[in-house]
Amino acid sequence: MRNKTQKQTCAENSEMREILSIWKIDKYTVIELDAEVPLKPFNKYLIGGKIYDYVPIYDLPRCIAVKTDDDINADTVEFII
């Protein structure tokens, strides 16, 4: 059983960014954000009610990538642990 200090909600461990644009590159969807990716730890994204795994992305400031065939239609990205 986890103790109280280990048990945390998503709201306590998340940050949100607004989505500016979305485009497809092969099997990935790239999402441009209104601000830099948070510095606090995260390993998943909550986008449009679905959870996506973190995909490393380099040389694209204020962008994230997800591996999906879904058509993402959301206004925000939440960074979660």
Q: What percent of the chain has pLDDT over 70?
A: 83
- Residue 15 binned pLDDT confidence (cut-offs 50, 70, 90): very high
Residue 3 confidence (pLDDT) above 60? no
Contact 29, 72 (CB under 8 A): yes
Which domains occur in the chain, in start order?
A: 13-80 (2.40.30)
Contact 44, 52 (CB under 8 A): yes
pTM over 0.85: no
